[in-house]
Amino acid sequence: MKSIVLSSVVTALLVFSGCSSKEPVVDTDSNKTAVEEVVAQEVATVETETVTAENSMVNSSASNSNLSMSDIEGQLSSVYFAFDKFDLDSDTQSKISTAAELSKSSASNYNVKLEGNCDEWGSDEYNFALGLKRADAVKKALVAEGIDSSRISMVSYGESNPTCSDKTSECYAKNRRVDFKLLP
């Protein structure tokens, strides 16, 4: 009982005493000059650079190959997976080898985005995780083929990006895939 009364009194004193009514003093002149000096230093270190047509990445990629980015993407075929699986078989390995060769030659100036997809069976969370595992399996195979891992990014769409919406096993099989997309 004594501790309740004592804590109530201490709380009441803290509440009623409040904060000081004294206004803080801010020295605006010294702060303004210090900020202006920092900004002036940052602006002075910025240099401009002009990119010529010869140094442009877009033009250099066009000169290396006569194929456009969409033409190269058309040559990259999707990798398909079995139900609830993310391991690679010999058929998918040959598709990945073809994609790696294209990435080394025609698409050497592009980055590769791997889009993992699933059929509609399973929860959303499970399918997003499975799509990411499928994309990661393809990424590891591409790295093993000699593609730099910094050129490869991954995304999982789970079941949200189907190519087929029929309720058949053939349609479900078409949705269990990893698609290749090229990024500039």
Q: Is the pLDDT of residue 139 over 90?
A: yes
Distance CA 18, CA 25 (A): 20
Q: What is the CATH code for 67-183?
A: 3.30.1330.60
At residue 160, the pLDDT reads 92
**How long is the chain?**
184
pLDDT at 55: 45
pTM of the model: 0.61
Higher pLDDT, 115 or 57: 115
The token duo for 136 is: 């990661």
pLDDT on residue 184: 83
Edge to edge, the sheet with strand 111-117 lists 79-80, 177-183, 111-117, 152-158
Domain ranges within the chain, ordered by starting residue: 67-183
Least confident of 21-30, 82-91, 140-149: 21-30
pLDDT tier for residue 81 given thresholds of 50, 70 and 90: very high
Scan for tokens 């398909």, then name that residue.
Answer: 80
Evaluate if residue 136 carries a pLDDT over 90.
yes
d(CA 127, CA 123): 6
Range with the lowest mean pLDDT among 1-5, 140-144, 149-153?
A: 1-5
Cβ–Cβ < 8 Å for 84, 124 = no
The pLDDT tens digits for 6-61 are 788 777 766 666 655 656 555 555 545 554 554 455 444 444 444 444 444 443 33
